[in-house]
Structure 1
Amino acid sequence: MERITNDHRDELKTFFTDQWGDCRMVYSHGEYNCSELEGFVALDGDDTIIGAVTFFDHGQTGIREIISLDSLIERRGIGGGLMELAENDAVSSGLKELCLVTTNDNVHALHFYQKRGYRLTGIRPDAVVSCREKKPSIPEKSTDGVAIRDEWQMKKPLPANGE
């Protein structure tokens, strides 16, 4: 696993397009091009991207927002390893908190993040409905039939650097 560099950008565009239909991540509070963000990638033996975490640091607020986390191979520690890198980097950068948004259908993500110390801090009912206006490719339902409607906000406080 390594920090995203300009050498990864073209492959990241393909990676995110394959995963999400394009590189844009649309939330009720903003829109991000994941292929242009800071983050970390996991590579296989052929240096092909098999996982990525991207984030955006919100200026002087001390908050790092996790924008995307994807792993092509689940239950191998890729997602957890990428999150650990992003979190350790945030601590080293003197940030105070991590936050992220997921959707109501993604109970796997809720479990994953709670195991890592994140807490559910807010729900934005019907937020995904307005996001579909900007990105119509967001599905109405998950693969197991759950209507995708709401954004779930999660946060994790970070220890001060050196604690």
Structure 2
Amino acid sequence: MSPAGEPDDLELRVVTDKGELLKIMMVAWGSHRMMIDLHVYDVAEIDALGLYEPNGRTAALASWTIRGETAYLCALHSLRPGEGVAIQMLDAVIAAARAAGAKRLKAMLTNDNMPGLVFYQRRGFRLSGLYLDAIDAYRSVVPTIIKTGYKDIPIHDAIELEIAL
């Protein structure tokens, strides 16, 4: 770990083979498609970044895209929780979104995702939308989406957060 508490020796790379990310999405979410801002994004078809250990092992993955002046973070998964890797991954997405000309970055969480809500707000994101029954409606299109999540909380609603870039 560096003096700032961030993991050492991680290499940021563009992800070209999204197989690992898609597997993680299926386990964690039940789908590799996400709905943000009333648009469906398939993580298999949009940009992805990864942080990799020197031995090639994956430390974190993120999938994102941009439309107009808004970037959308569709997935962020740390495979080394509690080590600051997710913060490094989010910082990389923010830098890439800024470089692509985005003025804001949006993320969507389900109502059960208390750790995610804390994580994003501590990084400066603000609540920007609440979509009641959104996941129930989306589940009618993608029935494999999980029904319960963190601490066995039933998943029904979506919470949108955003940060100005």
Q: TM-score range by the shorter chain?
A: 0.7 to 0.9
- What is the CA–CA distance in structure 1 between the aligned matches of 2:123 and 2:150, rounded to whole Å? 25
Query: Which of 68, 79, 96 lines up with 1:72 in the alignment?
Result: 79
**2:97: which partner in 1?**
90
Sort the Cα spacing of 1:37 and 1:3 in 2 relative to 1 into closer, same or farther, 3 A. farther
Corresponding residue number in structure 1 for 2:137: 130
- What one-letter code is carried by the residue in structure 2 that aligns with 1:118? F
Secondary structure, aligned partner of 2:80 = coil
Q: Percent identity of the aligned residues?
A: 25
Equivalent of residue 2 in structure 1, options 6, 9, 12: 12
More helix as a share of residues? 1
Q: TM-score scaled to structure 1, two decimals?
A: 0.84
The equivalent of 1:16 in structure 2 is: 25
The one-letter code sitting in structure 2 at the alignment partner of 1:81 is Q
Distance in 2 (alpha carbons) for counterparts of 1:81 and 1:14 = 22
Which of 37, 42, 58 is equivalent to 1:33? Answer: 42
1:51 positional shift: 1.5
Give, in angstroms, the shift of residue 26 of structure 1: 4.3
2:56 to 41, 47, 52: 47
Please, what is the CA RMSD of the aligned residues?
2.0
What are structure 1's unaligned runs of at least 5 residues? 159-163
Runs of 4+ with >6 A deviation: none
Residues 26-83 of structure 1: CA distance to partner in whole angstroms, max 9, x if unpaired? 457232221332121022343132321111100xx31101010111221111111011
Q: Name structure 2 gaps, 5 residues minimum.
A: 1-10
Q: TM-score, normalised by structure 2?
A: 0.83
Contact kept, 8 Å, 1:103 with 1:150, in 2: the verdict is yes
Q: Is the 8 A contact 2:59 2:80 kept in 1?
A: yes
Distance 2:99 2:111 in 1: 32
Structure 2 distance, partners of 1:143, 1:95, is 31
Count the aligned residue pairs: 155
Cα distance in structure 2, aligned partners of 1:90 and 1:27: 16
Residue 143 and residue 92 in structure 1: after superposition, are their counterparts in 2 closer, same or farther (change >3 A)? closer
SS of residue matched to 2:65: strand
